[in-house]
Every structure is written in structure tokens, then in C-alpha cells.
Structure 1
Amino acid sequence: MADSVSYGARERIAMKIELTMPLIKRLKIDSKPVATDPSGALIFEPNPSGRDYIVYDASQEAPPGFGVRIAKKKTFVIRRKVNGKSIMPTVGNVADFMTSDGKGPLTLARAKAAAMALQMVGTGKNPNAEARKTAASELTVGQAFSRHREHLRTRTQRPATAETLRVVDRAIRKFVGWGWANRRVKDLTPEEIETKFKEGQDAHPTANEQAFRWALAAVRWCIGMEELDAASANRDPLLRANPFMILILGRMFRSRDQVEKTRVEQNKRNPLTPTKTLGEFLEVAWSRKDVNDNETGVHYLMLMLLWGCRKSEHAPCQWGELLTADARKLASHVMLDDDVYGPHVFFHGTKNGSNHRLPIGPMALQLLRRRQASGAEEAVRRGFGSKSRTFVFPARSRQSKTGHYNDASALLDSLRDEAGIDRLARHDLRRSFGALMAAIDVPPGIRSRFFNHADASVTDTYTKAEWALLREWMERIEQSILAKAPNVYNSLKPTAWPMLDAPVPHVSRPAKPRTGRPRKISVPVDERQ
């Protein structure tokens, strides 16, 4: 039963009652218990200030001072007064105790709180603060990566995208492979970091620099957090120096000009040339769409070229008409008809953190209408409830985790070989878009908007005149690209436009025989022997 509390003292005295998990689940920040009625039921009053409050546990199984703090998150706490000083560390989030090994959450929380209380009485110190001190002095490279990654994932301002987290994970795997994940940061010497860095520069300099930059950032963030903890605890920081700073002080990372020079020398950037390879690539791709179920992949690559986008931007696009107005604000989508913008594509949460809206030209629009028709046939085969139905580029496999097409590497390599092009990567399609913009003198401001190179704070809302100008240039770029492949141009152009003189359509190579285990052929029961 709760302690007797007069109404005038409700604001000064914390509530104490035997805690149960159903009771803890009932407690909310917008109201708080202040007393009990004659039958023993709790009396709640509004908590308009939203200030957190504590309900202490009156159970005989609970150590004195054990309770639950109700705030945005519910946490167990334990309070002790040692040498005249009140100490109240957090035992843990209530949710963390819900997944127990058969013991009740309250049983586990009370046991942990009792152990912490003994430690407080014995040392006179907050055990959580002591644990943070120990953690800072014993911080390993792997722990620094893990904490920084969680910060990147959960931060409010520009949380890391899935692609960024994959890059961080690749960096972590490098340090695990070197046996450095369990090395304490304070034990690393600048000399060995410099030696390890130089070892990786010969084979894969870009990946090597990226891994060490992430390590530098992770340790720097952990040092900043330790400085805050030390200041709040009125002590000196236990981790001050970042050994990875030797790479900055020694100017060991390549400059942007050096990186660009290396890429040119090694033919790392190979946009399609408007005078030769652009047309050949498009003609080969257009003929391949009818071979071996490659239509989705060919459309995926062609729109990547026509929009100059990154693969992470257009791959998850959905049909806007299948989404609610609120859902369209939070998802990349294509609108073939729109009263405000007309046909357009909307990329949500792009690399620079902003949303990006592009007008769709008439020939890309025709291609998308064909995509939608193919999608309708696919929905009939797979069912209208299939996960892939809403996507512009549905996954080929029904077991796909994302539901959308994502990797055209093998198809692109095959098209490149058939077109007789030496080198071509997916990002080269974006570069080809940029090269074409430069060739037809697209104004720098328009180029920046199409490439989404503007600051993330720049809005994707336009006046009618601005949008009309963007649409005009998008149509000119689209015509300039597809005119290099007359057969493609003639197939997608509006009917009122004149035909271009076109060569004999390219005949794609026949599909290669399927390798691996032969497909199973079901035999009717009455024909089996």
C-alpha cells in the first residue's frame, strides 16, 4: 500500500508503492500518481509541465531507494545517501530488462540495484560514473567504432543513411582483420598507425584512407564525450590524445587534386562520350531489354543515365499514386501525373541529406508508362499484395528483402562488353549526364540543381517559372542523350515529333545457357512409375 500523503505535500514527497510490471506500464509522463483512495487504488493528477517523476518501490524484495523514473523513457534508479551526499545512478532502461533469461524484469532490476547500492556504500561513489571512467581509459578501437556508429545512426540532424553505415562497417572489418579491434586506443602509437596506413596505400588507397578517416572520427567523438563526462564529474579527462591525428599532422591523406589526378591516370572515371560510346551503349541496351527478362535492369540503367542520379536514389522509387500524400513525403517516388509539378521524380533523403525533385522529360515519361504496364502484369502474376508491387523497379526474386531491384552490375558489364566499351561503372552514367550538360552549355545553376550539389538547406520547392525552366532544360538534355541512339529515340518520342534516320537495330547476343543445377520439372502423379 502507498504511504499516506496529504494533498498539500504531494509536490514535495515522492510516491512509494509496491511496483509491478503492469503498474509500471500504466505510468505516463502526462499524469502522475499522488495518493491512494480508501480502497488502495492510485489517484492520478495531470502533469502539465511534463517534468519527470520517480515512484519508489515499497516491496520487501527491493533494496531501499529503488524505484522507477518516468520520463520520455522509463528507467530504474537506486538512491543512497553516503557520507551526507545523495547518489542516485540509473540501474538501466526498463525496456532492457524485458528480455530476461526466465527471471522477471523487476527481479533482475532489484538484484542489480542491490549490487550497485553495496558498491556506493563501499566506495562512496556513483558506480556509473566510475564505469565511465574505466571505459574511457580502457576504450578499444572496436568500442570507439561501435559507439560512434550508434551516434551516426541515431542523431537527430542528418542521421546516417544505410549506405553510410555499410561504409563504416567495411572500415570496422578492416581493423578487425588487422587484429586492432581489441587494441586499447591509448596503447596505439603514432608510428605503428603510420606504418599500417602506408601498407594499405599501395593496393587500395581510397578504401585505406576511408577506413583511417572513420577511425580518426570515431576516436575524436569518443574523446569529446569523455571531456563532457569529466567536466560534469569535476575530474580530469582520462582520454585526451587521438593517436590517429598523426595522419593529419603528417599530411598523409591525399588532397582532392591528387585523388583526381590518380583517377584520371588509372582510368577510374569513364563517362560515355556523346560522339561515340553513348549511342552504342544505348542501342545495345535497348535491344537487350527483350532478352532473358532484362527489361527492368535496362530501364533502371537508362533512367539512371537520363536523370543523372545515384543508384541509391532511384532504386527504391515507388509509384506515387500507390502511396498516400503523407507517405509520399517520406519515400522516393515517381508521379506520372501531378497537378502542381506535372510528371516528376522525387528522391527522399539523398546523399547530402536533402530531398531532390526532378522534372521528367517526355521520353523518360513514355519509358515509365511502359514500366508501369510491365509492373501491372507482374502484379497479376505475383499478386497485388506482393511486397514488390509498389516499386518502379521491382526485385526479380520474390525473396528479396527490399522488394526492389538494386544491383545492375552484371548487366552493365555485359552491355559494356557487347558495345565494345573498355571501362564503364554505374557511377559513370551519372558522369555521362554531367558531360552531356557541359557539351550543350547547361547553365551552372541548373547543373547544380540537377546534380543536387546545392546545400542541404536549399528547398526543393520552386516557382512556376523556375520549374518551367528546369523542365525545359531536362527535355533538352534528354533529347541530346537519346538522339545519339536513333532507334531508342524513335521508340520513345512523342508521336508528333519527326523520326530520326536510324541504322539497322542492334541484334543482341543470345542469352547464355543457364548454369548450375537443372530446373526441376514436376511430373503429374498419374505419369509417375
Structure 2
Amino acid sequence: MAKISFTAPRVAGFTCPSDRGQAFLWDAKTPGLGLRVTPRGAPAFIFQGVYQGKSLRVTIGDATAWRIPDAQAKARELQRLIDEGRDPRAVKAEAIAKDVAQREAERLEAVTVGDVWPTYLAEGSPKRRAAWKPRYRADLEAMSAAGGVAKKRGKGLTRPGPLYPLLALPLADVNEDALKSWYDREAKAGKHQAARALMMFRGFLRWCSARPAYRSVVDRDAGKAASIVEVLPANTRRTDALEGAQLPGWWGGVEELGNHTASVYLRALLLTGARREELAALRWADIDFRWKKLTIADKVDATRTIPLTPYLGRLLATLPRVNDFVFASTSSKTGRIADTRASHSKALESAGIDGLTIHGLRRSFSLLGEAAGAPAGAIAQVMGHKPSATAEGYRPRSVDALRPFLSLIERHILEKAGVPFDFEAAEQGGGKVVSIHQKKSA
């Protein structure tokens, strides 16, 4: 292998014969330093040595970009690595990997919450669930909305959602101090709203920490720091429910509502103990008037079927069939009833009752069911509780086995509310829905 001292003219003038794939020129001054040329490719400085008894070759770089003294210094450096027992190829691969990692880290440092949030909405899901429920997904979007659009009710523009300020924050900067500062500002507008937004954001951090792409920069526990947790409002469990003496006033107030669909919906909630979204999504196809059954979209399982009691069946039959939904709405985007809080507030004001929520009607069903003498297991099954979620647990009953208990509860509620209804006539296909006010006027 002939060697010559590299000079700029010699390096520039070296070419590869057209009948060969490549040609080499070796430097006489620096062991292992060579110049490789191909018929069409650019000339490159290379290093060739022996590592652990085997020949190795490493490309130093383009000969038009590297000065000869620099290439000679690089060749000596590579030989030193071999002398130290290190493979120059592995060292080069490590350097490339480190550079790639550094650039990826710099890229991640610039990724903001807002960059990732749309992916979270599209691909995220609650624990042990395949996807968001539509209502919760809508809440996530509302909490992170920029605001500035015309209000659907009232005048003016909407405010930015509590989570909106966090969207501009780099993921790497989401820490205890940043979240504490954000929470303190949002809590001035509403502590409970800010606390709910924080719980939602914790879910986002958990999701990010489970993704390899973001795990290295996100602090999963930033929202659980003591400085934040200790200022959260107390999470008191609601216990609101109708008292027996309040039933006539509540029922009368609901009957007087100008919105008949909302009136029937609220009474159906009390008579079934269903969750508000479950009942709002009820379709006419879910009601079997012939065999007196009602199939509800369940929170726990896919669906649950409960008996259609006499009064409830006749009450539902008074609703117009506007579309597929039982509790239809022509003003709602979904085509069904959406929010009855305003209607319920009117009924409560009329009855002089304070603090009763829509969910309180579900608790009321449970308490009134106990007062009627129905078994706890039957009440829990009608309400859609898991057997393990109740103190005693229960063995699921058939629809026919549940029927006498749900009828017992319905009869008890109507009696307490002072609602006249002929159950015996209903069994024979008769029975009319009569309001409290009709009874009084009679």
C-alpha cells in the first residue's frame, strides 16, 4: 500500500479510474489516514485501523470540506481510541445518538400544553374506559376554550375557560409553582370551578406521563403538590334529597312548568332513580309499552332493563313524538333535552325548597324506596349500582321480580305527593294521569 505525503494539489488531483469502483490514497505522515474516491462520488478522508484483530474503516468527512491538518488530527484521535480499547465506530454512533437526543430534548422543551391538548381530547380516555363520555368531552373543550364568542344566553362575550391560560405553557414548565400561580388566579373567579379544572388537568398530566413522547418532560405529580392541595375547597359530599313533607310542593311546582317535556323528565327522574344523562338519552325504541319494560343506557354496563310502572308509562305517553328521543328538544343540537336546571329552579322556587339538585332526585328515589319497604338490592339494581357498590351486595333480579318493588316505590311516592292514580284500573289498561291541581279543584 503506497503512501505519499498529503498536499492540497495531490488530494485535489487524485481520481478513480473509470474501470474501478473506488480508489485509495494513503498519507505517509499519519498512520491510517486515507483518501477514498469513486468515479462519481466526492472524495472523502477515511481512517483505517485494526480493532481487536479485525480491520475497521471510518469515514472522517468530505475532502473538500476538511483541511488536511484537521483530517490528520482526526485520524490520530481515532487511533488513540483504538489504543484505549474503544471502538471508534461505537464512539461515533454514541455521539450521533447524543446529538439526536439533545435535539429531541430541545424540541420537547418547546412543546406547549396547547400543542398536545388536541391529541389528548382525541385519544385520551378516563380510567378503565374506551373513550370520553360526550358530556365530559364537552366540559374539557369548554374548560380550555379561548372565549370571546357571543353568549348563547344573555348578552356579551364568553370568558376564556379556566384551563385556557395553561395552553401556552411549555410542557416542561408545568410544575408546582406554575400550577399554584395559575390556580390562585382562577380561584378568584370561582374556587370550585378552578378545583374542577385542576382535576381535569391532572388527568392530562397522567396521560402525558404514560406516553413515551412526553414522559421525559412532564411532571405527573405537579398538580398534587401540598402547596396546591392544601388550598383546595373542601370536597363535601352532597346529601340533598326531598323530604316526604316536601313532595307535594315539589310535584306541584314541577307540574306547573310551562315546558311539559321538562316537567315529565323531572318526575321520571324521581320515579326511576336514573342518572340525568341516562334518562335524557332515552329513545322511544327503548320503551316496551306492551310488556311494560324500559331499557336505559347504563353508566356501569351497556344497558339495564327495569319495569315500566303504571303511572310512569301513562306519563311518558303524554309526550309528543317529535323525533327518536322521548324527551325531545327542537332547540338542542342533540335533538334531546339538555339542561333542566332552570326549569327545576322555577319549580323549587314555587315550592319554597332550597338546595335540591337534579342528582338529589336520584338520592330521593333511594330514600323513598327504603321508606316504601323495598329491598336495598332491588333499589340498587333499578338505579344501576354495581352489586359490589352497595353495603350488602345483591343478587340481580329479573324484570318481573323487580316489578312489584318498583310499583311499590311508585305508589309510595304518589301517595306522599298527593297524586291521585287508580292502580287497579291501570292493571286493566285504564288509569289516567291526574294533576294535583285537578284533584284540588275537584
- Note the C-alpha offset of 1:138: 2.6
Q: Tell me the residue number matched to 1:117.
A: none
Match of 1:280 among 225, 239, 249: 249
Residue matched to 2:41: none
The 3 A distance-change label for structure 1 pair 412 and 485 is same
**Are 1:392 and 2:326 matched, yes or no?**
yes
CA distance in 1 between counterparts of 2:273 and 2:248 reads 16
Is the Cα contact below 8 Å between 1:142 and 1:172 reproduced in 2? no
State whether residues 394 and 405 of structure 1, in contact with CA within 8 Å, keep that contact through their aligned partners in structure 2. yes
Is the 2:144–2:162 contact (alpha carbons within 8 Å) kept by the matching residues of 1? yes
Structure 1 residues without counterparts, runs of 5 or longer: 1-82, 85-122, 231-236, 264-268, 321-332, 376-387, 509-529
Q: Deviations over 1:351-406 (max 9, x none)?
A: 346422222111111222333xx33xxxxxxxxxxxx4222122144xx4222233
Query: CA contact under 8 A between 1:313 and 1:347: conserved in structure 2?
Result: yes
Task: Determine the C-alpha separation between the residues in 1 that align with 2:396 and 2:120.
Answer: 43
- TM-score by structure 1 length? 0.53
Does residue 132 of structure 2 align to residue 160 of structure 1? Answer: yes
In structure 2, relative to structure 1, the CA distance for the partners of 1:430 and 1:203 (3 Å cut) is farther
Distance in 1 (alpha carbons) for counterparts of 2:163 and 2:170: 16
1:229-308 alignment runs, 5 A limit: 229=213, 238-239=216-217, 241-242=219-220, 244-247=222-225, 251-252=229-230, 258-260=234-236, 263=238, 269-274=239-244, 276-286=245-255, 288=256, 292=258, 294-308=259-273
2:274 pairs with one of 300, 309, 312: 309
In structure 2, the partner of 1:454 is: 386
The CA deviation at 1:129 is 9.5
Which of 333, 339, 347 is equivalent to 1:415? Answer: 347
Select which of 296, 300, 303 maps to 1:347: 296
Equivalent residue for 2:25?
none
CA gap 1:442/1:455 in 2 versus in 1, 3 angstroms: closer
Do the aligned partners of 1:215 and 1:244 also contact (CA within 8 Å) in 2?
no
CA distance in structure 2 between the partners assigned to 1:197 and 1:464 by the alignment: 45
Task: Look up the equivalent residue of 1:347 and give its one-letter code.
Answer: I
State the shift of 1:221 in Å.
Answer: 1.6
Cα separation, 2, equivalents of 1:154 and 1:278: 37
The SS at the match of 1:484 is helix
Aligned-partner Cα distance in 2 for 1:440–1:491: 16
C-alpha distance in 1 between matches for 2:199 and 2:396: 43
> What pairs up with 1:118-517 in 2 under 5 angstroms?
136-152=108-124, 157-173=129-145, 179-198=165-184, 200=186, 204-226=190-212, 229=213, 238-239=216-217, 241-242=219-220, 244-247=222-225, 251-252=229-230, 258-260=234-236, 263=238, 269-274=239-244, 276-286=245-255, 288=256, 292=258, 294-320=259-285, 333-337=286-290, 342-348=291-297, 350-352=298-300, 354-371=302-319, 374-375=320-321, 388-397=322-331, 400-454=332-386, 466-490=398-422, 494=426, 505=438
How many angstroms apart in 1 are the aligned matches of 2:188 and 2:293? 45
Q: 1:357 to 1:477 in 2, by over 3 A?
A: same
> What is the SS of the residue equivalent to 2:111?
coil
Question: How many equivalent residue pairs?
Answer: 331
Displacement of 1:222: 1.4
CA distance in 1, matches of 2:191, 2:368: 30
Secondary structure at the aligned position of 2:235 is classed as helix
Corresponding residue SS for 1:358:
strand
* 1:20-31 equivalent positions in 2, closer than 5 A: none
**TM superposition shift of 1:192:** 3.5
Identify the residue that residue 64 of structure 2 maps to in structure 1.
none
- Deviation of the 1:491 alpha carbon: 9.3
Match of 2:287, SS state, is strand
Q: Deviations over 1:5-59 (max 9, x none)?
A: xxxxxxxxxxxxxxxxxxxxxxxxxxxxxxxxxxxxxxxxxxxxxxxxxxxxxxx
Larger radius of gyration: 2
Asked whether the equivalents of residues 344 and 360 of structure 1 are also in contact (C-alpha less than 8 Å), the reply is yes
Q: Could you tell me how far apart the structure 2 residues matched to 1:492 and 1:249 are? A: 63
Residues 253/171 of structure 1: CA separation in 2 closer, same or farther (3 Å cut) = farther
Shift of 1:272: 1.5
CA contact (8 A) 1:446 1:470 kept: yes
Give the superposition deviation at 1:143: 3.1
CA distance in 1, matches of 2:266, 2:279: 10
Q: CA deviation at 1:151?
A: 1.5
CA distance in structure 1 between the aligned counterparts of 2:329 and 2:424, rounded to whole angstroms: 24
Question: Residue type of the partner of 1:247?
Answer: A
- Structure-2 change in CA distance of 1:464 and 1:417 (3 Å): closer
CA positional deviation for 1:183 = 0.8
Instruction: List alignment gaps of at least 5 residues for structure 2.
Output: 1-57, 60-94, 146-159
- Contact 1:358-1:450 within 8 A present in 2 as well: yes
Instruction: Give, in whole Å, the separation in 2 of the partners of 1:369 and 1:215.
Output: 44
Instruction: Provide closer, same or farther for how the CA distance between residues 180 and 249 of structure 1 changes in structure 2, counting only shifts above 3 A.
Output: closer
Take 1:316 and 1:305, find their aligned partners in 2: how far apart are those partners?
A: 16
Change (3 A) 1:198 1:181: same
Q: Does the CA contact (< 8 Å) of 1:352 and 1:456 recur in 2?
A: no
Kindly tell me: are residues 241 and 396 of structure 1, through their superposed partners in 2, closer, same or farther at Cα, counting changes over 3 Å? closer
Q: Give me the CA root mean square deviation.
A: 4.3
Distance change in 2, residues 1:492/1:133 (3 Å): farther
Q: CA deviation at 1:131?
A: 8.8
Per-residue deviation, 1:504: 6.1
Residues 393 and 404, structure 1, Cα contact 8 Å, conserved in 2: yes
Do 2:279 and 2:296's aligned partners in 1 also have CA atoms closer than 8 Å?
yes
1:323 aligns to what?
none
* 1:270 counterpart letter in structure 2: D
Describe the SS at the equivalent of 1:272.
coil
Question: Structure 1 CA distance, aligned partners of 2:396 and 2:275?
Answer: 27
Quick one: distance in 2 between partners of 1:428 and 1:301? 11
